[in-house]
C-alpha cells in the first residue's frame, strides 16, 4: 500500500518538468507519516520529563521545608548555624524551583501552545519564589548580619517568607495531585 502511494507520487512528479535541480519535488506519500511519527516520539518524551521536573521541584520543597529545616533547629544547639544552613537550603530550593518551573513552562508551550491552568499555577509558584528569594530573603539576611534576629521586623519577614514557601508547597501539591489524576 505504501509502495503504491510512493509509485503514484513518483509518476506524477515525473510528468511535471523541472527546469532547475534546486526546485523541490513533492515528498512521497509516506513521508508525512514518518515526520508525524518523529513529532509524536518527541512529544512522547515530554510527559515523563514534566513528571521528573515536577517531582524534583515538589520533592525539594517538601524535604527541605518539612523534614530538613525542622530537624536542623531541633538537633543543633546553635540556632544561628541552623538558620544559616536552612537559609542555604531554601536558596538552593528556590533555584531548583526557578529552573524546573521555567523548563515546565517551556515544555507546556511546546506541547499545548496555549495557556492552561497548570501554566497559571506554575507562574504563581515562580512569582512566589522570586518574591521570597529576591525581595524578602535579602532583607532577612541584612537583619541577620546586623544581629537583629530577635526583632519584630525579623520575625515579620521570616513569617512572610514562611507563608510564601508554604503557598508554593501547597501549589506544588496541587500540581502533583492533578498529575496523578491525569495519569489514572
DSSP string for 24-89: PPPPPTTHHHHHHHHHHHHHHHHHHHHHHHHHHHHHHHHIIIIIIHHHHHHH-S-HHHHHHHHHHH
Per-residue model confidence as pLDDT tens digits over 145-154? 999 999 999 9
Instruction: State how far the alpha carbon of 105 is from the alpha carbons of 24, 125, 145, in Å.
Output: 37, 12, 36
> Closest Cα partner for 129 from 65, 45, 77?
65
Query: CB within 8 A of 125, min separation 6: which ones?
Result: 97, 101, 168, 171, 172
Contact (CB, 8 A) for 101 and 122? yes
Share of the chain above pLDDT 70, in %: 75
The 3-state DSSP composition of the chain as helix, strand, coil percent (nearest 5) reads 85, 0, 15
Confidence check: pLDDT of 27 > 60: no
> What local confidence, expressed as pLDDT, does residue 94 receive?
98
∠127-133-122 over CA atoms, to 5°?
A: 25
> What local confidence, expressed as pLDDT, does residue 26 receive?
52
Share of the chain above pLDDT 90, in %: 64
Per-residue model confidence as pLDDT tens digits over 36-83? 444 444 567 778 899 999 999 999 999 999 999 999 999 999 998 999
Confidence of residue 183 (pLDDT cuts 50, 70, 90): low
Q: What is the CA radius of gyration of the chain?
A: 26
Structure-block grid coordinates of residue 66: 518539612
> Average per-residue pLDDT in the chain?
83
pTM for the predicted model, two decimal places:
0.74
Confidence check: pLDDT of 169 > 90: yes
Contact (CB, 8 A) for 168 and 64? no
Handedness of CA 181, 101, 82, 131 (dihedral sign): negative
Rounded distance between C-alpha atoms, residue 30 and residue 53, angstroms: 35
Is the pLDDT higher at 18 or at 130?
130
Contact (CB, 8 A) for 140 and 151? no
Per-residue model confidence as pLDDT tens digits over 77-110? 999 899 999 999 999 999 999 999 999 999 999 8
Is the pLDDT higher at 42 or at 120?
120
Amino acid at each position: 500500500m505504501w509502495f503504491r502511494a510512493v509509485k503514484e507520487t513518483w509518476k506524477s512528479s515525473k510528468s511535471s518538468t523541472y527546469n532547475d535541480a534546486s526546485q523541490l519535488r513533492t515528498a512521497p506519500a509516506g513521508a508525512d507519516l514518518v515526520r508525524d511519527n518523529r513529532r509524536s516520539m518527541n512529544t512522547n518524551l515530554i510527559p515523563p520529563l514534566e513528571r521528573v521536573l515536577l517531582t524534583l521541584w515538589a520533592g525539594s520543597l517538601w524535604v527541605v521545608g518539612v523534614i530538613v529545616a525542622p530537624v536542623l533547629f531541633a538537633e543543633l544547639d546553635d540556632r544561628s548555624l541552623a538558620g544559616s544552613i536552612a537559609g542555604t537550603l531554601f536558596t538552593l530550593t528556590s533555584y531548583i524551583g526557578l529552573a524546573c518551573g521555567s523548563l515546565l513552562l517551556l515544555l507546556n508551550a511546546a506541547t499545548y501552545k496555549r495557556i492552561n491552568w497548570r501554566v497559571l499555577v506554575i507562574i504563581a509558584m515562580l512569582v512566589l519564589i522570586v518574591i521570597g528569594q529576591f525581595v524578602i530573603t535579602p532583607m532577612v539576611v541584612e537583619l541577620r548580619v546586623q544581629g537583629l534576629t530577635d526583632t519584630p521586623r525579623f520575625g515579620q519577614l521570616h513569617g512572610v517568607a514562611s507563608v510564601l514557601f508554604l503557598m508554593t508547597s501547597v501549589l506544588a501539591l496541587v500540581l502533583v495531585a492533578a498529575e496523578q489524576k491525569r495519569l489514572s
